[in-house]
Structure formats: structure tokens, C-alpha cells
Amino acid sequence: MGNSVIDQRNVVVTGGARGLGAAIVKQFSATGANVSVLDLTSPELPPLGALSNEGSIVWYRTDVTKEREVRNSVREILGTHGPIDVLINNVGGAVWPNLDVSMRSLDIPTWEHTFQLNVHGAFYCSHHVIPYMTRSGNASIVNISSVNALMALGHPAYSASKAALSAMTRAIAVEYGPQGIRCNGVIVGTMNTKAWATRLNCYPNLLEDIASAYPLRRIATPDEIASVVLFLCAPGSSFISGTDIVVDGGLTAGREDLANRLMPDFCGPNVDNEFS
């Protein structure tokens, strides 16, 4: 995307070991950024630092749901790279103790752990990084959210936690905008990552069936989402703050099946002009 120059900026990516996080790390590193990865596991990447001739990649073993670990890793990053320009709160996910996660059956530990993963971790990272973000006028935080924040698609704890993350995005943007820090969210639709592996073992055609619900009739690749994240941290997005960018292939735009029911072919030209 235009003006995607991140050269020599210091970037922190949580959950950068695989999937979308790894795609984000690769794209930032390719621009020459120094990328610090906070994750419990080592990134599924070539040897650290080998992805780019310009940028560096360093892994800090961190459980972002543990405030002390986040604080210690941020201190280490500051000592190595100096002030942080960009924070990508990518860690998140749905906790599935069993197949039934309806509001009726959802247990308290699952609810609490889901919020720890999707909200608390982003808060801990933002809380400890913001005081040390550069005042360059283009410091940026991006929170990775989900279409579940906008639609009821099952798992109420996941939906509620992602909606809370969107609210935190707006709060950060308003409070820290005067200090030159922007904050935005990326609302993500279904992506083809290894997170689906267990469910695909049980239902091999699952992703094809999900894709049929999207107007584009396909799901996203991690690289497509990562390019939007990169744009939100680049000069070309310098007046975008406090909003969620929806990258969902048209899923939340409407339902084709409902549209077809509202406009049935068999009604002919004398169909009512009222819609309600």
C-alpha cells in the first residue's frame, strides 16, 4: 500500500510466531523495521534476522496474559532497541473447552481465559509500551479484532472480548492522540491458518463451507490482512485513528440469502414497495 515506509522503526508484534502474526512480522521486516516478537513459542520463520537484509527479528518468550512477563520483555526491548514506534496487539483466540460454548453452557473459567487472551494481554502491552513510544507524530498501535465483534457467530465470550478490544482501541486513540499516538483496529474475517487444523481433521470441507458465506466466495490469506496492518502504521495512514478497518471480504456487508428472500423472482412487477 502507498507510503508503506517503516524503515528502521522499532516494532513490537505479539503472537508473531505463526499465522497472521508471522505474516505481519515478515512484512514489517521486509521494510527494514526492527521487529520484536512476543510469543510463547519461537517463530515459524527462517533463522531470526534472516528474513530481511535490513530489518532485524528478535524473539522474546512472553505470555502476554501475564503482566509481569510483559513488563520485563518491554524493558528488555527498550534496552536493546530504544523507544518503540509501533505495537501490534495480535495475540488472541477462542477458547474451546468443548463444542458447546453457548451462553447457557459457557463456564466461568472459559469466559475469564478468553478475556485474558483477547483483552487483558492487549491492555498489558499497551499499558507498558505507550509511555515509551516515540513522539515522532506517527507512533501507531494496531489491535487485531474479529468480525465476531460485530456479529453473533457463536462463542459469546469471544464476541464480547473482541468488542471490548474495539472499545479499548477508541479509548487509546482519544487519550493519546494529542501525544502523536494513533490507535486503530483491524476487524478480520476467516483466515486460512493452522489454527483450523484440529477442526479440519474432523470436518475436511469446513473452510470451503465457510467461504460460501462470504460474498467473495473465499477466505483471507494472512498476507492480505498483514498488508492492511502495515498500511495503518505507515505515513499514508497518518490521519486514521480511533477506528476499526473491516477486512472481511464483504461478510458484514449483508446476507445474500436474506436479500434473495426479500426480492423473490416469483413476485413479478407488482411487488410491494415497502420494506420493513
| Most confidently predicted of 36-40, 188-192, 255-259 | 36-40
Comparing 52 with 251, the larger pLDDT belongs to: 251
Q: Whose CA is closest to 196, among 15, 20, 4?
A: 20
Is a pLDDT exceeding 50 seen at residue 276? no
Q: Which of 19-28, 78-87, 187-196, 212-221 has the lowest mean pLDDT?
A: 187-196
Whether 81 has a pLDDT exceeding 60, the answer reads: yes
Q: What is the pLDDT of residue 52?
A: 46
**pTM of the complete model:** 0.87
- The proportion of the chain whose per-residue pLDDT surpasses 90, expressed as a percent, equals 61
From the candidates 60, 124, 158, 176, give the one annotated as an active-site residue.
158
Average pLDDT, the chain: 86
| Angle (nearest 5°) at CA 192 between 189 and 196 | 100
The question of whether 158 is a catalytic residue gets the answer yes
Distance CA 244, CA 141 (A): 12
Burial profile 126-152: b = 16 or more Cβ within 10 angstroms, e = fewer = bebbbeebbeeebbbbbbbbbbbbbee
Q: Which residue is catalytic, options 124, 162, 176, 214?
A: 162
pLDDT tens digit string along 83-137? 999 999 999 988 766 655 678 888 899 899 999 999 999 999 999 999 999 876 7
Is 162 an annotated catalytic residue? yes
215-240 tens-digit pLDDT: 899 989 999 999 999 999 999 999 99
